[in-house]
A and B are shown apart, each in its own frame.
Chain A
Amino acid sequence: MSFLTPLYLLGALAVSLPILFHMIRRTPRDRREFSSTMFLQPSPPKVTRRSRIEHWLLLLLRSLAVCLLALAFARPFWRQSLQDEASPDDTRATVILLDRSASMRRDGLWEAATREVESILADELEPGDQAAVLAFDETLQPVCDFQHWSTLDPAQRAGFVLSALGNLSPSWSATDLGAALIESAEQLDALVVGDEVAERRTIIVVSDFQSGCSLESLQGYDWPGELVVQLHRLDVPVSSNNAGIHPVGGTRTESEQPLVRVRVSTAEGADRDEFTLRWADEFENSAADRGSLEPASTVSVIVPAGQSRIVRAPARDEGLRQSRIVLEGDDHEFDNHCYLPPPRVRTVRIAIIGRRAEPDPHSLEYYVPPAFPPLSHRKIEIVDWDEMPQEAHLAIVVSTESPEILTSLRDYIADGGTVLFAGESPDDYTRLFTQLGMAPITVREGEVDDYRMLTSIEYSHPFFAPLSDSRFSDFTKVRFWNYRIVSLEGIPSSTALARFDNGDAAVIESRIGEGRLIMLTSGWHPRDSQLAVSTKFVPMLNGLVDELAGIGEYRTSFLVGERVPLAEFRASADELTAIELPSGEQVAVEDGMNSFSDTITPGLYTLISNGSKTTSAGQVSFAVNLDSSESQVSPLSDAELAAAGVALKSSESVAVLEEAAQRQLRAGELENRQKLWQWLVLSVMAILIAETLLASRAARRQSIAPV
């Protein structure tokens, strides 16, 4: 018999009290009548040799009651073989999870992990056990699954696993420990040994248990109570001085390329906080080849332990294609590189048709060139229409007085070109329509009492898209004094991109062949409107130009293992045929392939178009970087893992305490089930009733009796 609270047994010492009370009779039960006590003197009460226990049965009953009560308080129970104590015949199934995430690249961790797996195979598995060895990072990869394990000879299993591990190395992926545990639990649950499910199931995790590992998938997962997870922390001293560098947000637009910002984060427990950033280039490893180039500029950054800072990267060296920022100053190299695609400079050619030698400040032409300021990612070339009419991305017609020029305009539009036109009179529109071969359209001057304003604006169109933000979409301050009424019915495949407040079309887009004609029914010059002098004119023209040149917002930085959508890149890379990996290997891109998933290594991935890296848009590339969570290398505590709902079984010295706690828990459950204390209390009550009856009967016998 065991006791839950054995200290209460000391209460049994109170059994001496009834005996003592028997021996010390201060108030004797015998009462004797006497004629007169005038000659008697009282005697002091004492325990003498002649004090004797008269009622042995009463004494025994009272002593028994005290002892049973003390026993009840001690909460006795019969320790029986517990259900969770395994019998030798129980089938055991074990999953060994080996962490191969990027954080395992730190010095000695992977080797220690493989040694740990080897020792587990040798010491903790029996020949009759079913086991599987699975490697995990963001996904689960089998090294030796259950099926393969069962087909192997027991003597060969360890050798096979170690051989497979020898061909394995840490990946660059993040750690999704939660998903790995869930998938392992499901594999164990589905495992059938013979005709039964394995009775003892264990998951052994070999990992560095860095705090950046993801446990989110465990939230809400009902962990099987009988499934125990055993954590094997790697016994390798690893420095906690780690800092990682990662691109900010992971999404950059090409228009933001000149401003390079990165995030530097340090691990908890790091005792260094000062680091340097610099660009690494193709002369990284060759000081001689660098030649006369100036030393790469560096930026110093201070980040306290457990925090992160967003800093501006140093400027790229002029003339060098630098795509990698290196962080220096910590103890671990694996997360010290941030890849960023080099900036591309697009050349956009614009043809202005109807130019005059001396632009008139009151003319349409006057306001066009200033609308295209020079940008770092874009170079505007105003081309001569006569020399390269087909090379222009955009043709802006400011005058229709030269019909011969307009003749080539129709072919330009038919071949996919875009023409932007605004006339100063109805005749301008008529001449244009005639040259474009459109049916005669009546164009007349519109009536304006005071001024017109734009309404019903299509902000989805690239012409108005830059102004779609509510901060910029107010056109009420742009007034129009003159405009032409152009009926859409006479223009094929036309839509009104904007209207005046009286409903007349203000901006009309007409699809002609492969191209389109964007027509403003009012001039942007001051004689017709305030458009050219407003803040809207430049963004409208540049939005159209960027759309035509393929300059837009799309991601250029991805994480390891992330699927890269190719549609955005196809638009700027002509005919995409392959993608060059950071290793130099090229992966072919099929016609129907919409995404690229072979991003297993951090680095710069370059699009190949018809065998060439250089496309019409320049060299197009995207970067793949390490997940910032892998830089959080401070160890995850068992409590955090247990808080996620996983039943843990530590392999460290804590197991002793846990075993004791488990034993106590089992003892408590046993006692709660048996409830022996209730029977003891009932016995005490019965004894006390018997004692009361017996004592009253004895008292009646010895009640007042003359001598």
Chain B
Amino acid sequence: MNAKSTPPAYPPASYIDPATLMQIHSLELRARAVVEGFFSGLHRSPYHGFSVEFTEYRQYVPGDDLRYLDWRLYARSDRFYVKRFEDETNLRCHLILDMSKSMTFGSLAYSKADYAKTLAATLGYFLSTQRDAVGLVRFDAQIEEFIPARYRIGHLRRVMLALEKPACGEATDLAGPLDQIAERVRKRGILIVISDLLASLDELELKLAYFRARGHEVVVFQVFDPVELTLDIEEASLFYDVETGHELYVDPALARTSYLTRLNEHLESIQAICDKLGIDVYRLTTDVPLEVALGEFLRSRTRVIGRTVSRSRSW
């Protein structure tokens, strides 16, 4: 089940308004506020009783210790599976954050970059509480900073500090940074891409497919400003592209229809690529509470676990 573009209609009173959240200066505090706020409301959520502790089997590969071979599962499925213990079920999660110029755009009091950083911090904080290893990759046209996934004291702090650095990137290029990430992230894990994906999609499918082939799980959070999805601007203006520097005289009243058409084509292309590769895409606008994104992420993990368990049970 793939993620949908629109978030579920959670009661807005239970979530922190992003504008209010952005008032918190510290990124870590923001993340904590979202995570703790999210879980403190879980008992009222329909996900009551949801367990966050889960185990899994993985297929036996030559070299694994035969002491952990699950013979009962072999008897049932005639396939060799190795039981993963809790410590082996901790994820290696890399937050891949787009810090290009396009992310600096924002029609609200904060930019997409602020929202994306807060989202990354929230996910990183959550994963850290789950004793998962969290890493960070900041990129624009190339990787600006790479922090490998670790779970150790002080590592989350390092990630938060890296997240707080301002976006000073140039144009957006997905292909190059994904290539570099593929070389540096060897061990399988989760790659959470947070970007607006307003770039050429020519090699996106190839790069993402490579990750999937390597066994990585990819989650894409596509962050937009509300204006980018509606072009709700009254006055004709000279539109200045913050990445390319191009200027266009645009009358929104005249250009809206074609803009939305082309934008939706782009989004549908991304969706198609992700659907094809089994990648969940979540489209967020910067006015959506971050708890929603967190909830979506958790749901996606649940589905992944469910798929894994069902596959192992069906054997």
Residue numbers of A with Cβ under 8 A of B are 27-28, 30-43, 45, 704, 706-707
Q: Which one of B105, B235, B236, B254 contacts A34 once the chains associate, using CB atoms below 8 Å? A: B105
A706 to B248 CA separation, bound complex (whole angstroms): 15
Chain A residues with CB under 8 Å of B248's CB are 37, 40-42
Chain B residues with CB under 8 Å of A27's CB are 238, 249
Give residues 21-79 of B contacting A (CB, 8 Å). none
Chain B residues with CB under 8 Å of A45's CB are 249
Chain B residues with CB under 8 Å of A36's CB are 102, 196, 198, 241-244
21 examples of A-B residue contacts, CB within 8 angstroms: A28-B236, A28-B238, A28-B249, A30-B235, A30-B238, A31-B240, A31-B247, A32-B239, A33-B239, A35-B105, A37-B239, A39-B262, A39-B263, A40-B239, A40-B255, A41-B248, A41-B255, A42-B249, A42-B250, A45-B249, A707-B233
Chain B residues with CB under 8 Å of A37's CB are 239-241, 244, 246, 248, 250
Closest A residue to B172 using CB positions: A36
B224 to chain A, nearest CB (A): 8
**B2 interface residue (CB < 8 Å to A):** no
- Interface of B: prevailing SS: mixed
Given A35-B198, A42-B248: A706 and B106 within 8 A (CB)? yes
A707 to B227 CA separation, bound complex (whole angstroms): 9
Chain A residues with CB under 8 Å of B80's CB are none
A37 to B255 CA separation, bound complex (whole angstroms): 11
Q: Which of A31, A704, A706 has the most CB of B within 10 A?
A: A706
B206 to chain A, nearest CB (A): 20
A39 and B266 form a contact (CB under 8 A)? yes
B242 and A34 form a contact (CB under 8 A)? yes
Chain B residues with CB under 8 Å of A34's CB are 105, 239-242
A401 to B17 CA separation, bound complex (whole angstroms): 176
A707 and B250 form a contact (CB under 8 A)? no
A616 to B276 CA separation, bound complex (whole angstroms): 163
For chain B, the bracket of interface size reads 35 or more
B237 and A30 form a contact (CB under 8 A)? yes
A707 to B252 CA separation, bound complex (whole angstroms): 13
A34 to chain B, nearest CB (A): 5
A32 and B112 form a contact (CB under 8 A)? no
Closest B residue to A704 using CB positions: B240
A22 to chain B, nearest CB (A): 15
Chain B residues with CB under 8 Å of A40's CB are 239, 248, 250, 255, 259
A129 to B271 CA separation, bound complex (whole angstroms): 113
B60 to chain A, nearest CB (A): 48
Q: Which one of B103, B228, B233 contacts A32 once the chains associate, using CB atoms below 8 Å? A: B233
A32 and B238 form a contact (CB under 8 A)? yes
A41 to B251 CA separation, bound complex (whole angstroms): 9
**B107 interface residue (CB < 8 Å to A):** yes
Closest A residue to B245 using CB positions: A37
Closest B residue to A34 using CB positions: B239
**B140 interface residue (CB < 8 Å to A):** no
Q: Which one of A35, A42, A704 contacts B196 once the chains associate, using CB atoms below 8 Å? A: A35
Chain B residues with CB under 8 Å of A41's CB are 248, 250, 255, 258-259
Closest A residue to B171 using CB positions: A36
A707 to B233 CA separation, bound complex (whole angstroms): 8
B186 to chain A, nearest CB (A): 33
A43 and B251 form a contact (CB under 8 A)? yes
Closest B residue to A43 using CB positions: B251
Chain A residues with CB under 8 Å of B239's CB are 32-34, 37, 40
Knowing that A37-B239, A43-B249 touch, tell me 15 more A-B residue pairs with CB under 8 angstroms.
A33-B105, A33-B239, A33-B240, A33-B242, A34-B241, A35-B198, A35-B225, A35-B228, A35-B242, A37-B246, A38-B241, A40-B250, A42-B255, A43-B254, A707-B233
Chain B residues with CB under 8 Å of A704's CB are 240
Chain A residues with CB under 8 Å of B198's CB are 35-36, 38
| Nearest 3 CB-CB pairings of A with B | A35-B105, A43-B251, A30-B237
A36 to chain B, nearest CB (A): 4
The interface bits of chain B over 252-287 (1 if a CB of A lies within 8 angstroms of the residue's CB, else 0) are 001100110011001000000000000000000000
A704 to B104 CA separation, bound complex (whole angstroms): 15
B102 to chain A, nearest CB (A): 4
Q: Which of A28, A31, A33 has the most CB of B within 10 A?
A: A33
Q: Which one of A30, A39, A43, A707 contacts B107 once the chains associate, using CB atoms below 8 Å? A: A707
Closest A residue to B262 using CB positions: A39
B107 and A706 form a contact (CB under 8 A)? yes
Chain A residues with CB under 8 Å of B227's CB are 707
Closest B residue to A29 using CB positions: B238
Chain A residues with CB under 8 Å of B244's CB are 36-37
Closest A residue to B265 using CB positions: A39
Closest B residue to A42 using CB positions: B248
B263 and A31 form a contact (CB under 8 A)? no
A474 to B244 CA separation, bound complex (whole angstroms): 120
Closest A residue to B256 using CB positions: A40
Chain B residues with CB under 8 Å of A39's CB are 258-259, 262-263, 266
Chain A residues with CB under 8 Å of B233's CB are 32, 707
Chain B residues with CB under 8 Å of A706's CB are 105-107
Q: Which one of A35, A38, A43 contacts B236 once the chains associate, using CB atoms below 8 Å? A: A43
A705 to chain B, nearest CB (A): 10
A37 to B227 CA separation, bound complex (whole angstroms): 13
Closest B residue to A36 using CB positions: B198
A35 and B112 form a contact (CB under 8 A)? yes
Closest B residue to A705 using CB positions: B237
Q: Which of A32, A36, A706 has the most CB of B within 10 A?
A: A36
A685 to B11 CA separation, bound complex (whole angstroms): 64
B234 to chain A, nearest CB (A): 9
A514 to B190 CA separation, bound complex (whole angstroms): 169
A704 to B238 CA separation, bound complex (whole angstroms): 10
A613 to B76 CA separation, bound complex (whole angstroms): 189
Chain B residues with CB under 8 Å of A43's CB are 236, 249-251, 254-255
A19 to B182 CA separation, bound complex (whole angstroms): 61
A574 to B240 CA separation, bound complex (whole angstroms): 128
Chain A residues with CB under 8 Å of B228's CB are 35
B188 to chain A, nearest CB (A): 33
Chain B residues with CB under 8 Å of A42's CB are 248-250, 255
A28 to B241 CA separation, bound complex (whole angstroms): 16
Closest A residue to B106 using CB positions: A706
B227 to chain A, nearest CB (A): 6
B300 to chain A, nearest CB (A): 26
B255 and A32 form a contact (CB under 8 A)? no
Closest B residue to A51 using CB positions: B236
B216 to chain A, nearest CB (A): 27
Q: Which of B237, B240, B247 has the most CB of A within 10 A?
A: B237
Closest B residue to A39 using CB positions: B262
Chain B residues with CB under 8 Å of A35's CB are 102-105, 112, 196, 198, 225, 228, 241-243
A32 to chain B, nearest CB (A): 4
A397 to B238 CA separation, bound complex (whole angstroms): 138
Closest B residue to A38 using CB positions: B198
B237 and A28 form a contact (CB under 8 A)? yes
A707 to B228 CA separation, bound complex (whole angstroms): 11
A42 to B236 CA separation, bound complex (whole angstroms): 10
Closest B residue to A37 using CB positions: B241
B31 to chain A, nearest CB (A): 24
A706 to B238 CA separation, bound complex (whole angstroms): 11
Given A40-B255, A45-B249, A707-B233: A32 and B240 within 8 A (CB)? yes
Closest B residue to A707 using CB positions: B107
Chain A residues with CB under 8 Å of B107's CB are 706-707
Closest A residue to B238 using CB positions: A31
A361 to B244 CA separation, bound complex (whole angstroms): 143
A35 to B243 CA separation, bound complex (whole angstroms): 7
A32 to B198 CA separation, bound complex (whole angstroms): 18
A97 to B127 CA separation, bound complex (whole angstroms): 127
A42 to B241 CA separation, bound complex (whole angstroms): 13
Chain A residues with CB under 8 Å of B266's CB are 39
A38 to B263 CA separation, bound complex (whole angstroms): 9
Chain A residues with CB under 8 Å of B246's CB are 37
Chain A residues with CB under 8 Å of B242's CB are 33-36
B87 to chain A, nearest CB (A): 42
